[in-house]
A and B are shown apart, each in its own frame.
Chain A
Amino acid sequence: MNTLTGVGVSPGIGFGPAYVLAVQESLVPAPDARHGGDAGAERDRATRALEQVAADLEERGIRTGGEAREILNAQAMMARDPGLAVEVAVLIDDSGATAARAVYEAFGRYRELLAGAGGYLGERVADLDDVRDRAVAVLEGLRMPGVPDHPDHADHTARPYVLIARDLAPADTATLSRDVVSAFVIEQGGPTSHTAILARAMGVPAVVACPGATSIEPGTPVLVDGSSGLVRPAPSEAEVAEATNAAAARKAVLAAASGPGATSDGHAVPLLANIGGPGDVASALEHGAEGIGLYRTEFLFLDRATAPSGQEQESAYLEVLNAFPGGRVIVRTLDAGADKPLAFLPPRGEEPNPALGERGLRLFKINPEIMNEQLGALARAAAQSSAKLQVMAPMVATAEEAAWFVAACGDAGLPSAGVMIEIPSAALRASDLAAEADFLSIGTNDLAQYTFAADRQLGALTMLQDAWQPALLDLIALAAAGAVGRGKSCGVCGEAAGDPVLACVLVGLGVTSLSMAPPALPAVRAALSRHDREQCVLAAQAARAAISPQEARTAARSHLPGLAGLAL
């Protein structure tokens, strides 16, 4: 089979047997499947299968913990439902259905009830279907659907496997780790899809937007290059050795780079970490983050029925602040809206384009009490810590909005209030925004989405989300210049900051700090330390003079000779 090409979204080399996640189509036992005699034995089979499914779900919940455990326990209760058991028994006794068919039909009746109700109950249909599919799989002697969360399940050699799928839901990957998965290869998705972000956070190589990947024969050894995006089924031993040696050499070079981020001529560029909660702090510290450049606070708010209390928020913020005594911690206020809906704050109306709707700061304008609760909790946490807390708002479009948010932060007693540059209007008028705010921070993922009118979740539009697009570089340069002109700082906290080559270009464009997924920090630190500021500026000019992302990449590289030693 030929080499496949996708988009490398999490660097590194992965090698292991292919585990191809089948497209989840439900197995439907034939409507006329009859057990042919012993109804009692058939009822027992059904009962045992449902119990096995329930026990398996509970066991997975214990290993995962947290919110996932509650969801899995609720599913286990569905498998053990007494009403369902009665229906199954009646179908087996009266119509002679096989256990599999009876289970399938019995679930079907509840499915209709729930689906008809819509809303929250409609969403439970997927949970119910999952339980049903598992029970039917057990009865038909097939493997239960889902992602194997132990290497033994893939090929019995206990080697980490290469997980290949059309697409992955975040829940599918909840229980996975580096010991289990050596690489992800996904047919759909883009560089900022959940799989990509999750893979980078786990430090597992990943390739997305890779057509044809699921036609790889299960069990085939696969070599995955998460930098170049190449996926090689059944590689030769020499290919594997070459790739893994290069990766090892690179790792050694990266390990040698340490200390605060700076160019070779001593121009300091603080290297910060993007985190989604206190749980990511350990990884940030391990990779040498000098602080936090983006603390996403959504995790406190999503998937819950009521808003978190001020006290709960305060302790989550304090936990992160305390990990960086004297250091900088930039917290992004709640970034929710129709695209990331909150159960306790439903959208006011139908939004045909949720990415363009009432989200981010716009949601705060409608619900200032949620904002004030969050800002108050942040101020109380800051008062108890020696870390330098900075707070910034997402989805700011105008200087007026910036002024409104900065005033609210001032009222709450917060020392430093900034805004994110994610909307082209904000980049174009960055100088006006910087006059109001204490600092700017560019979110390159959303800025690309809004600049190119290209949905960041759509794999087919990956080309337009390429952070090397010259138009995006122009807007970054404009934003950085706007901040500098007002004596303010301008960081980048999008995924672009984690690309070691682009990081040099960003510094050349005038960006003052870089924040990224923690595993990307060592490569960026090494790349910066091998070039002086002048080289970065020349690379940036060359990239902006290009007319395509490919040309921009090549042009920038020609001014960055130190990359060769890093095997980048």
Chain B
Amino acid sequence: MAERQVIVKAEVGLHARPAATFVQTAAKASLDVTIAKGSGQPVNGKSILAVLALDVRQGDSVVIRAEGEGADELLDQLAGIASAP
């Protein structure tokens, strides 16, 4: 399984627009995507409610995982969204 660990830089954390963009991008992929805050329990990366409930704030570290064809490409894209200022 491929994974990326990034620090969330956006002032609003992984909420509002960054959260929506992240989930929309994940939902378009056919792969399963999970996201976890720090070493916490991973949740479905295609679920806006689950991602919001993680309550990821600015400066928090998240781990994004996906498996299958195109996983690396997708993870790069999602890591970019999660770490965008």
Contacts and interface: CB of A to CB of B under 8 A. Distances in A.
Contacts of B20: 70, 73-74, 77
Interface string B16-58: 1100100110010000000000000001101111101101000
A549 B27 CA distance: 62
A82 B55 CA distance: 19
A82 B47 contact: yes
Interface in A348-362: none
Contacts of B17: 70
Interface string A96-120: 0000000000000010011001001
Chain B's interface: helix, strand, loop or mixed, by majority? helix
B50 A83 contact: yes
B55 A117 contact: yes
A187 to B, nearest CB: 33
B84 interface: no
Contacts of B11: 305-306, 344
A128 B49 CA distance: 9
A342 to B, nearest CB: 12
- A interface residue count range (under 10 / 10 to 19 / 20 to 34 / 35 or more): 20 to 34
B45 to A, nearest CB: 10
Nearest to B85: A306
Contact of B48 (A74, A113, A121, A305): A74
Interface in B1-23: 10-12, 15-17, 20, 23
Given A117-B55, A344-B11, A84 B16 contact: no
A77 B24 contact: yes
Nearest to B23: A77
Interface centre among B48, B49, B52 (most CB of A within 10 A): B49
A300 to B, nearest CB: 17
Given A73-B20, A74-B20, A124 B52 contact: yes
- B interface residue count range (under 10 / 10 to 19 / 20 to 34 / 35 or more): 20 to 34
Contacts of A505: none
Contacts of B48: 74, 77-78, 81
B61 to A, nearest CB: 18
Contacts of A74: 16, 20, 48
Given A121-B15, A306-B11, A344-B11, A113 B53 contact: yes
Contacts of A113: 49, 53
Nearest to B20: A74
Contacts of A344: 11
A110 B17 CA distance: 19
Contacts of A110: 49, 53
A128 B48 CA distance: 11
Interface centre among B46, B47, B50 (most CB of A within 10 A): B47
B52 A114 contact: yes
Contacts of A83: 43-44, 46-47, 49-50
A117 B60 CA distance: 15
Contacts of B27: 82
Interface centre among A73, A120, A128, A344 (most CB of B within 10 A): A120
A12 to B, nearest CB: 39
A306 B10 CA distance: 10
A567 to B, nearest CB: 50
Contacts of A343: 12
A296 B24 CA distance: 36
Contacts of B49: 78, 81, 83-84, 110, 113-114, 128
A86 to B, nearest CB: 9
B11 to A, nearest CB: 5
A121 B44 contact: no
Interface in A25-56: none
Contacts of B16: 74, 120, 305
Given A74-B48, A83-B49, A305 B12 contact: yes
Given A305-B16, A306-B11, A121 B52 contact: yes
5 contacts: A82-B46, A114-B49, A120-B12, A120-B15, A343-B12
Given A82-B46, A110-B53, A121-B52, 13 more contacts: A73-B20, A74-B16, A74-B20, A77-B24, A78-B48, A81-B49, A82-B27, A82-B44, A84-B49, A120-B12, A121-B15, A305-B10, A305-B11
Interface of A: 70, 73-74, 77-78, 81-84, 110, 113-114, 117, 120-121, 124, 128, 305-306, 343-344
